Structure 1
Amino acid sequence: MTATKGLEGIVATTSTISSIVDGVLTYRGIDIDDLALHAGFEEVAYLLWFGKLPNAQELSDLRQDLDTFAPIPQLLIEQMKLYPKDVNTMAALRSAVSALALYDEEADDVSRSSNEKKAIRLQAQLPTIVAALSRLRQGKEPIAPQKGLSIAENFLYMLRGEQPDETSIKALDQALVLHADHELNASTFAARVTVATLSDMYSGVTSAIGALKGPLHGGANEAVMRMLDEIGEVDQVESYIQEKLNNREKIMGFGHRVYKNGDPRAKFLQKMSRELGEMKNDTKLYTMSVKIEDMITGQKGLKPNVDFYSASVYTQLGIESELFTPIFAISRVSGWTAHILEQWVDNRIIRPRAEYIGLTDQKYIPIELRA
């Protein structure tokens, strides 16, 4: 046996959900460019779960189900109120999603119909949980979801307590589409490993959230925003970035293991960042980001990934950086649950081997003879 560090290049399973071939990302065979330009997030979630775009009735039924499931139990809200105010938001989300299973009578029902319902329930409730966590951190009461709103619109409404503008809704909805799935990434693999033991869907999603919490996966956009805050002004970009490059420090938001010629999702987020800045008559974050991109691409040959411009997009939507990765989870739960459903169609427990490189031919030494 020979180990491959990080399982790079190892094909661990087959899937019909998403693919990355020659730098092109597709969901169920549809190019991400096509979906980002034309599809709403609810359509994409349906596509990931059921393998096809919904017709008008199917989309209407899905939206009705999402409305039904969006409220979260009051007992869960009371539990969330006991979390420390300064707790990591992803840690709080992980705990809350794990607790959701306690309030679902079908949590351990492994039938396909029940698991499809749980996928929709989780998709509906994650935005409500994240918005509630945000408001509780601010000492405010959570706002209940409204019926008849899209996931993007409802989330912004529950955060702010007021109806969001159409540009903001469109920007967040497109961001959700772009983050919905990404083949066998770390969090998706974690979800599949967990449910391959025939554990429940809530456990699988909790595992995925735990993996997404790490800065090498889901936390990169928060690191990008911290960098932009540290730089402060456009005229400070060049000196700041050059110092980082001279010191061989990593610049978050650039490069991707599976994309050699650039992340196809980044261009949409760049456009959103510019449009939101222009709408607010404040393009500083966008201009800073472009200058950073020019320097990194020019000197290192690295192009921005999906995390880089999402930082300025979310900030211009009035969303604090602590929610960047939870928003990632709101979108990616559609992909996680699609992969969980797929794993169970032809399940086998995922149990790889490890190449042993430790000592050999050792003997037991009685304690009185040990040094």
Structure 2
Amino acid sequence: MERNSEEYNRILDELTGYCTESGKIDQNLYVNYDVKRGLRDSTGKGVLTGLTEISDVIGYDVIDGERVPTDGRLYYQGYNVEDLERGFHGSKFGFEETMYLLLFGKLPNEQQFKRFVEMMECYRELPRKFTRDVILKAPSKNMMNVLQRCVLTLYSYDDNPDDISIENVLRQCMELIAQFPVIAAYGYQGYKHYFHDMSLVIHNPKPGLSTAENFLRLIRSDKKYTELEAQVLDICLVIHAEHGGGNNSTFTTHVVSSTGTDTYSAVASSLGSLKGPKHGGANLKVQQMFDDLKSHVKNWDDEAALEKYLTGLIDKNGFDHSGLIYGMGHAVYTNSDPRARILKGYAERLAQEKGRTKEFELYKKVEEISGRLLAARRRSGKPISANVDFYSGFVYTMLGIPIELFTPIFAIARIAGWSAHRIEELVNAGKIIRPAYKYVGTHKEYLPMEDR
């Protein structure tokens, strides 16, 4: 039988039908057995599955036993991320300080920070001929797949890949944190060259520059960037670096690390999680939604037209018919997302530099109208605020970063958090993570093939 022949496709369709029918479960059973679907309870709150000291995500205060919505707060190793952002103001090395804080539980002094940055610069260099033999030899249209494939291949370049002692895992994690921006940038350059027939541009990272500066330098043919551009990207990396142990990719890190597997396998698994559009790809959806909005609403000052468009989204009559206004709402935060608050300020500054203040005002109007419409529709009394994805795609666009690199930037930042959580899992030597699934099928008697 030839692959993709008429007979092949007919049989595949038949098998797909069997598979789909076999996989169906009566949805009422989830209620009957009180199954915590998505590891969440009936209110949507995450089921407690572990303990961590790495970060704290707060969306409400508890007063007299009642949960009261509040402005969201995010803490890295006990430090409020908004205090960190204020402390980093004007710096392009905030992400490097954040890496140190997440990995070692404290902020570095000048000497410690200098040594750490020098080590990360050494780790930034990829193995000899790796760019040619791995990144460029098998280019991909998806940069997350490039990262995942390269991470798994780096296992083969490590002389001690399976040693899960803390010293060895720390070394591996620091190497991967340093190498992620280089791999993503080179993967994108290969994609442009092989799939769009553009010139292949490969710059070497420059010592003395921050992660944000080097990334902008690596993806731009002229290597140029402004001070504000580097500061904004640095803050983007800071606020995406960590978000508690329960988000899907970080929980994946804990689950896979609990088996005792190697660092490369654990990080590749987390990358697979982050690639999903329900997790790391949300900012891309926001950008696509705004592109659709602009095609339907020509006058951005017409709030009635904007409200009509957004109502259509909620009613599943517009864009992707999902009923969602992407970038609005969060599983934990209520009144506001602290990351969105930070990024909104930087988006305004960057919009002024780029001459895109009118577009920034459009985002503000959509945020306000959407929050009002969603809160009224849900009638829960819970406020609906913008999350970090609402402004991040707009910021990346103003930075000239192509959409193919939106989710990889998330990975470049979040691997710092993944690494801290992997080490935390190994230090505490917990049991292998194994939640339960209840069997709800039927037991059947085996029949020989001739009797089926």
What's the TM-score bracket when you normalise by the shorter of the two chains?
Answer: over 0.9
Aligned-residue sequence identity (percent) comes to: 39
Distance 2:128 2:293 in 1: 42
1:194-213 CA distance string (max 9 Å, x none): 11111111111111100000
Give the number of equivalent residue pairs: 368
- The match for 2:402 among 307, 320, 326 is 320
Counterpart residue number, 2:163: 109
- The match for 2:136 among 73, 81, 103 is 81
- The match for 1:224 among 286, 298, 310 is 286
1:100-149 CA distance string (max 9 Å, x none): 22222232222222211112111110011111112222222321100011
Return the letter of the residue paired with 1:296. S
SS at match of 1:138: helix
After TM superposition, the score normalised by the length of structure 1 is: 0.94
Counterpart residue number, 2:340: 266
Counterpart residue number, 1:214: 276
After TM superposition, the score normalised by the length of structure 2 is: 0.78
Counterpart residue number, 1:245: 314
SS at match of 2:335: coil
Backbone CA RMSD of aligned residues: 1.7
Instruction: Identify the range of structure 1 (209-218 vs 231-240) with the bigger mean alpha-carbon deviation.
Output: 231-240
Counterpart residue number, 1:17: 54
Return the letter of the residue paired with 1:20. V
Distance 2:234 2:206 in 1: 17
CA displacement at 1:72 relative to structure 2? 1.5
SS at match of 2:155: helix
SS at match of 1:171: helix
Contact 2:75–2:81 (Cα < 8 Å) also in 1? yes
- Is 1:169 matched with 2:230? yes
Counterpart residue number, 1:69: 123
Distance 1:207 1:252 in 2: 25
CA displacement at 1:73 relative to structure 2? 2.5
Distance 2:201 2:262 in 1: 31
Distance 2:167 2:315 in 1: 56
- Is 1:153 matched with 2:190? no
Instruction: Identify the range of structure 1 (334-343 vs 296-305) with the bigger mean alpha-carbon deviation.
Output: 296-305
Distance 2:299 2:176 in 1: 41
CA displacement at 1:309 relative to structure 2? 0.4
- The match for 2:424 among 317, 342, 346 is 342
- The match for 1:35 among 74, 81, 84 is 84
CA displacement at 1:242 relative to structure 2? 2.9
Contact 2:182–2:215 (Cα < 8 Å) also in 1? yes
CA displacement at 1:74 relative to structure 2? 4.2
SS at match of 2:432: coil
- Is 1:7 matched with 2:43? no
Counterpart residue number, 2:379: none
Distance 1:353 1:239 in 2: 45
Contact 1:142–1:158 (Cα < 8 Å) also in 2? yes
Residues 1:229 and 1:74: Cα distance change in structure 2 (over 3 Å): farther
- The match for 2:357 among 261, 266, 283 is 283
- Is 1:123 matched with 2:177? yes
Distance 1:261 1:366 in 2: 62
Contact 1:191–1:205 (Cα < 8 Å) also in 2? yes
Counterparts of 1:179-218 in structure 2 under 5 Å? 179-184=240-245, 185-218=247-280
- Is 1:353 matched with 2:413? no
Counterpart residue number, 2:370: 296
Distance 1:204 1:33 in 2: 30
Distance 2:157 2:359 in 1: 42
SS at match of 1:265: helix
